[in-house]
Amino acid sequence: MKRLIYMLLLFVVLGHTVFAQEQKAEPLEVRLLDGFFPLGADWYRAQKDAWQVELKKDKRNEKAWENYWVACNAEYQEAKLVWWKDSLQVQRLRREQHGIVKKMKKWIPDTRTYYRHLLDLETDEGKREVIQQKILSIKRTSERDYISDLTYYHHKKDMDKIKELAREWYDSGLFSHAFLFYFYNECSGLKKDAILVSDLNLGTYYRYLLQYGIGLFTDVKVVDVADLRNPTQESQLWQEVGIDVQTLPDAKTVRCPGLWYFAEKEKRPVYYTHFFYRRDLLEEMKDSLYSEGLVFRYSSKPYNNLAATRKNFEQNYLLDYLRHPLIEDQSHFSSGIHILGNYIIAFSPLLRFYQMSGDKNQYIRLKSLLQSILDYSTTPRRIANVEMNKYVKLMDAIFAYIDEMRKKGGPFKQGKDMRKEYQKLIDGVDYDAIQFFDIH
């Protein structure tokens, strides 16, 4: 059954990829790169200058306008954080943003990029809604477009539109196949009628894709952590549940009233995703969360969670795509080690178990998998898609410009080498940053 599901998902992915390539509708999402690259104000200014060079070559290059905006906005946001040092600089950078949008109107009118950043600068709610409707009326041609529109309907709590858009997104094939498999695995080890707790992040939309676009895991109820921590009668979740939230224990009596209701009163299995932006919300629950792979399960008392992790690795998770990636794709929102590293964090305790128990075959199998994840995620690869190559060349031009500036003595901060930190996990070296994950 596991092999059949993998092949079905693989056919879905391959079919959409071939279709997208034929239609030339799936370009590489070029964005401001950060995280494992040098950071700081000088880095943003260098990118700003570099993208300006690209715009001089082609003023109708929408991707270049997008990245130029992001670099300018990053510079503005950094200045705003320390506004008391130079308030005039903050004002100048804000005026610059207004000037950029005016230029976008001239060179790339009636595009999502133009309207999206016009929306960024608009403060009047009525005008913002008019701009938003303009955005929604423009054809969706990328993962970012679908997620942006889903975000709007998510905040509007319009489930009918969410389901409709998820089906359209699935039909388009404009999604990250690596993310599709990742969030499939996240849900595949959950018990029937599970509650999956998350905050609003990328996973929210890929779960919409799985549940409403493909029709998988329809018994899983995904809930926002805010609805558990602070239940309100206006909440769509509690309206669906159909109880008066005033009857729930208050936060002084139980740590998380909504969690208490589902786990203790309803006796439903409750899980927290690893893919959390608000890590502090996981930290405050750490005494009751037990890792089972890509999720934590809530439990009021200890249990053999390593057995559940082992079952997920050996039976539930579809992992062949990690060993032999057949499709080169990249998400606008995250890629490479930033998400696949969760496998390394999740399975490093299991790797130690196999080593200590003498299960040589599984130890070699898992270590080989984790090493291949790290090597694949951090090694530059040739991208065969013609449309993608076009934008890879554009990024190469940007980095060539920045390298040239560095050689001339430009000051750049060097980001932390995450590859070394993940390698420590695979090799069995203690790593302070994931202390929390090793608690249970």
**pLDDT by residue (tens digit) across 20-37?**
433 332 222 333 333 333
Between 283 and 180, where is the model more confident? 180
Among residues 225, 367, 352, 343, which one has the least CA distance to residue 295? 343
Residue 122 lies in a domain: yes
Alpha helices (H) in 138-241, listed in sequence order: 143-156, 159-172, 177-188, 202-208, 225-229, 236-241
Residue 101 lies in a domain: yes
pLDDT score, position 378: 57
| Domains: count for the chain | 1
How deeply is 397 buried, as exposed, middle or buried, from its count of CB atoms within 10 A (0-12, 13-18, 19+)?
middle
- Cα–Cα distances in angstroms (integers) from residue 296 to residues 271, 422, 426, in the given order: 5, 20, 21
Range ranked top by mean pLDDT from 45-59, 213-227, 245-259 = 213-227
**Domain interval for residue 84:** 36-139
Among residues 422, 432, 282, which one has the least CA distance to residue 344? 422
Question: What letter does residue 415 receive in the DSSP assignment?
Answer: P
d(CA 166, CA 435): 37
Residue 56 lies in a domain: yes
**pLDDT by residue (tens digit) across 356-414?**
999 999 999 999 999 988 887 655 544 444 444 555 566 566 667 666 766 776 655 55
Question: Between the CA atoms of 259, 260, 264 and 266, what dihedral angle is there, to the nearest 10 degrees?
Answer: -70
pLDDT, average across residues 159-172: 96
- What's the mean per-residue pLDDT of the chain? 82
d(CA 410, CA 45): 11
d(CA 224, CA 333): 20
Task: Say what percent of the chain tops pLDDT 70.
Answer: 76
Between 80 and 151, where is the model more confident? 151
Q: For the whole model, what pTM was predicted?
A: 0.81
Both tokens of 52, joined, read 């300006």
How deeply is 225 buried, as exposed, middle or buried, from its count of CB atoms within 10 A (0-12, 13-18, 19+)?
buried
Residue 286 lies in a domain: no
How deeply is 246 buried, as exposed, middle or buried, from its count of CB atoms within 10 A (0-12, 13-18, 19+)?
exposed
Residue 256 lies in a domain: no
Residue 94 lies in a domain: yes
Kindly write down the DSSP assignment for every residue of 385-411, as one continuous string. Answer: -HHHHHHHHHHHHHHHHHHHHHHTT--
pLDDT at 426 over 70: yes
Residue 63 lies in a domain: yes
Residue 57 lies in a domain: yes
